[in-house]
Structure 1
Amino acid sequence: MAHPGDGAAPRDEAEAGYRAVGERLTAEFSGVHPPETVARCVAAARHGAQEVAGGAPADLVEKIARRHLQVLAMVAAEKRRRAPRTTLGNTP
Protein backbone atom coordinates (compact mmCIF):
# COMPACT_ATOMS: atom_id res chain seq x y z
CA MET A 1 0.00 0.00 0.00
CA ALA A 2 1.26 3.46 -0.87
CA HIS A 3 2.06 6.06 1.73
CA PRO A 4 2.04 9.82 1.35
CA GLY A 5 5.13 10.96 -0.45
CA ASP A 6 6.08 7.60 -2.02
CA GLY A 7 4.83 8.55 -5.47
CA ALA A 8 1.72 6.37 -5.79
CA ALA A 9 -1.48 8.36 -6.09
CA PRO A 10 -4.65 7.10 -4.36
CA ARG A 11 -6.41 7.05 -7.75
CA ASP A 12 -3.69 4.74 -9.13
CA GLU A 13 -4.23 2.40 -6.18
CA ALA A 14 -7.98 2.38 -6.77
CA GLU A 15 -7.51 1.64 -10.48
CA ALA A 16 -5.17 -1.21 -9.60
CA GLY A 17 -7.80 -2.55 -7.21
CA TYR A 18 -10.48 -2.47 -9.92
CA ARG A 19 -8.13 -4.18 -12.38
CA ALA A 20 -7.50 -6.91 -9.81
CA VAL A 21 -11.25 -7.34 -9.32
CA GLY A 22 -11.68 -7.71 -13.09
CA GLU A 23 -8.89 -10.26 -13.27
CA ARG A 24 -10.30 -12.34 -10.41
CA LEU A 25 -13.82 -12.32 -11.82
CA THR A 26 -12.61 -13.06 -15.35
CA ALA A 27 -10.84 -16.15 -14.01
CA GLU A 28 -13.80 -17.13 -11.83
CA PHE A 29 -16.30 -16.87 -14.68
CA SER A 30 -14.03 -18.25 -17.40
CA GLY A 31 -16.10 -20.45 -19.68
CA VAL A 32 -19.30 -18.79 -18.46
CA HIS A 33 -18.90 -15.15 -19.53
CA PRO A 34 -16.46 -13.53 -21.94
CA PRO A 35 -13.97 -11.05 -20.45
CA GLU A 36 -15.89 -8.16 -22.05
CA THR A 37 -19.01 -9.05 -20.08
CA VAL A 38 -17.01 -9.21 -16.86
CA ALA A 39 -15.47 -5.81 -17.60
CA ARG A 40 -18.90 -4.29 -18.23
CA CYS A 41 -20.25 -5.72 -14.97
CA VAL A 42 -17.28 -4.38 -13.01
CA ALA A 43 -17.72 -0.93 -14.59
CA ALA A 44 -21.47 -0.96 -13.89
CA ALA A 45 -20.93 -2.08 -10.30
CA ARG A 46 -18.35 0.64 -9.80
CA HIS A 47 -20.65 3.30 -11.18
CA GLY A 48 -23.62 2.02 -9.19
CA ALA A 49 -21.68 1.91 -5.93
CA GLN A 50 -20.45 5.44 -6.54
CA GLU A 51 -23.97 6.70 -7.23
CA VAL A 52 -25.70 4.91 -4.37
CA ALA A 53 -23.09 4.79 -1.64
CA GLY A 54 -20.99 7.78 -2.60
CA GLY A 55 -17.90 5.62 -2.87
CA ALA A 56 -16.78 2.53 -4.69
CA PRO A 57 -14.29 0.49 -2.67
CA ALA A 58 -12.95 -2.45 -4.67
CA ASP A 59 -14.39 -5.06 -2.29
CA LEU A 60 -17.91 -3.64 -2.70
CA VAL A 61 -17.50 -3.43 -6.47
CA GLU A 62 -16.37 -7.06 -6.52
CA LYS A 63 -19.39 -8.25 -4.52
CA ILE A 64 -21.84 -6.36 -6.73
CA ALA A 65 -20.19 -7.45 -9.99
CA ARG A 66 -19.98 -11.10 -8.86
CA ARG A 67 -23.68 -11.11 -8.06
CA HIS A 68 -24.53 -9.57 -11.44
CA LEU A 69 -22.46 -12.21 -13.20
CA GLN A 70 -24.11 -15.00 -11.19
CA VAL A 71 -27.57 -13.72 -12.14
CA LEU A 72 -26.58 -13.46 -15.81
CA ALA A 73 -25.33 -17.05 -15.68
CA MET A 74 -28.61 -18.24 -14.13
CA VAL A 75 -30.66 -16.43 -16.79
CA ALA A 76 -28.56 -17.94 -19.58
CA ALA A 77 -28.94 -21.42 -18.07
CA GLU A 78 -32.71 -20.96 -17.84
CA LYS A 79 -32.88 -19.83 -21.47
CA ARG A 80 -30.93 -22.91 -22.53
CA ARG A 81 -33.20 -25.11 -20.46
CA ARG A 82 -36.31 -23.65 -22.08
CA ALA A 83 -34.93 -23.69 -25.62
CA PRO A 84 -36.57 -26.06 -28.09
CA ARG A 85 -34.87 -29.42 -28.19
CA THR A 86 -35.12 -30.11 -31.87
CA THR A 87 -32.31 -29.75 -34.33
CA LEU A 88 -34.61 -28.13 -36.89
CA GLY A 89 -35.69 -25.27 -34.66
CA ASN A 90 -39.13 -25.20 -36.27
CA THR A 91 -41.33 -26.38 -33.43
CA PRO A 92 -44.25 -24.14 -32.50
Structure 2
Amino acid sequence: MSERIIPATEPDPYADFSAALRDEFSKIHPASTVTRCIEAAHYGALEVVGHAHPALVERIARKHLEVLALVASERG
Protein backbone atom coordinates (compact mmCIF):
# COMPACT_ATOMS: atom_id res chain seq x y z
CA MET A 1 0.00 0.00 0.00
CA SER A 2 1.40 3.41 -0.92
CA GLU A 3 1.61 6.32 1.50
CA ARG A 4 -0.34 9.47 0.81
CA ILE A 5 1.70 12.61 0.28
CA ILE A 6 -0.83 14.75 2.15
CA PRO A 7 -3.58 13.93 4.65
CA ALA A 8 -6.93 12.98 3.10
CA THR A 9 -8.61 15.97 4.75
CA GLU A 10 -6.49 18.54 2.88
CA PRO A 11 -6.83 19.38 -0.82
CA ASP A 12 -4.06 17.98 -3.02
CA PRO A 13 -1.78 20.92 -3.90
CA TYR A 14 -0.42 18.88 -6.80
CA ALA A 15 -3.74 17.89 -8.39
CA ASP A 16 -3.63 20.35 -11.29
CA PHE A 17 -0.15 19.60 -12.52
CA SER A 18 -0.47 15.87 -11.72
CA ALA A 19 -3.28 15.60 -14.25
CA ALA A 20 -1.33 17.71 -16.76
CA LEU A 21 1.80 15.56 -16.41
CA ARG A 22 -0.20 12.33 -16.73
CA ASP A 23 -1.74 13.70 -19.92
CA GLU A 24 1.54 15.07 -21.30
CA PHE A 25 3.44 11.82 -20.76
CA SER A 26 0.55 9.39 -21.38
CA LYS A 27 2.09 8.00 -24.57
CA ILE A 28 5.40 7.35 -22.82
CA HIS A 29 4.73 6.51 -19.16
CA PRO A 30 1.84 4.89 -17.29
CA ALA A 31 0.01 7.06 -14.76
CA SER A 32 1.65 5.10 -11.92
CA THR A 33 5.11 6.20 -13.11
CA VAL A 34 4.01 9.83 -13.17
CA THR A 35 2.63 9.47 -9.63
CA ARG A 36 5.88 7.88 -8.41
CA CYS A 37 7.91 10.72 -9.96
CA ILE A 38 5.71 13.31 -8.25
CA GLU A 39 6.08 11.52 -4.92
CA ALA A 40 9.86 11.27 -5.37
CA ALA A 41 10.02 14.97 -6.28
CA HIS A 42 7.96 15.84 -3.20
CA TYR A 43 10.22 13.95 -0.82
CA GLY A 44 13.38 15.12 -2.60
CA ALA A 45 12.33 18.77 -2.32
CA LEU A 46 11.57 18.33 1.38
CA GLU A 47 15.00 16.81 1.99
CA VAL A 48 16.97 19.37 -0.01
CA VAL A 49 15.20 22.68 0.63
CA GLY A 50 12.85 21.87 3.48
CA HIS A 51 9.60 22.54 1.62
CA ALA A 52 7.74 21.11 -1.34
CA HIS A 53 6.15 24.05 -3.15
CA PRO A 54 3.99 22.78 -6.02
CA ALA A 55 5.99 24.66 -8.69
CA LEU A 56 9.23 23.10 -7.46
CA VAL A 57 7.73 19.61 -7.25
CA GLU A 58 6.32 19.97 -10.77
CA ARG A 59 9.72 21.02 -12.19
CA ILE A 60 11.53 18.15 -10.50
CA ALA A 61 8.91 15.58 -11.52
CA ARG A 62 8.91 16.82 -15.12
CA LYS A 63 12.70 16.46 -15.29
CA HIS A 64 12.48 12.92 -13.90
CA LEU A 65 9.87 12.01 -16.52
CA GLU A 66 11.89 13.58 -19.33
CA VAL A 67 15.01 11.63 -18.33
CA LEU A 68 13.03 8.38 -18.12
CA ALA A 69 11.57 9.09 -21.57
CA LEU A 70 15.07 9.71 -22.97
CA VAL A 71 16.36 6.44 -21.53
CA ALA A 72 13.34 4.58 -22.91
CA SER A 73 13.86 6.05 -26.38
CA GLU A 74 17.55 5.10 -26.37
CA ARG A 75 16.73 1.52 -25.42
CA GLY A 76 13.92 1.14 -27.96
Matched with 1:45 is 41
- Cα separation, 2, equivalents of 1:21 and 1:76: 23
- 1:39 counterpart SS class: helix
Alignment size in residue pairs: 68
- Structure showing greater radius of gyration is 1
RMSD value, Cα: 1.3
Which structure would you say has the larger RCO, counting Cα contacts within 8 Å and 6 or more residues apart?
A: 2
Matched with 2:10 is 12
- Cα separation, 1, equivalents of 2:31 and 2:25: 9
Structure 1, gaps ≥5 residues long: 1-10, 81-92
Structure 2, gaps ≥5 residues long: 1-8
Runs of 4+ in 1 over 6 A off after TM superposition: none
Instruction: Give me the TM-score of the superposition, normalised by structure 1.
Output: 0.70
Amino acid at match of 1:39: T
The Cα of 1:22 is off from its aligned counterpart by: 1.2
- 2:71 counterpart SS class: helix
Amino acid at match of 2:32: E
Matched with 2:54 is 58
Instruction: Give me the TM-score of the superposition, normalised by structure 2.
Output: 0.83
Q: Percent identity?
A: 49
The Cα of 1:57 is off from its aligned counterpart by: 0.3
The Cα of 1:12 is off from its aligned counterpart by: 2.3
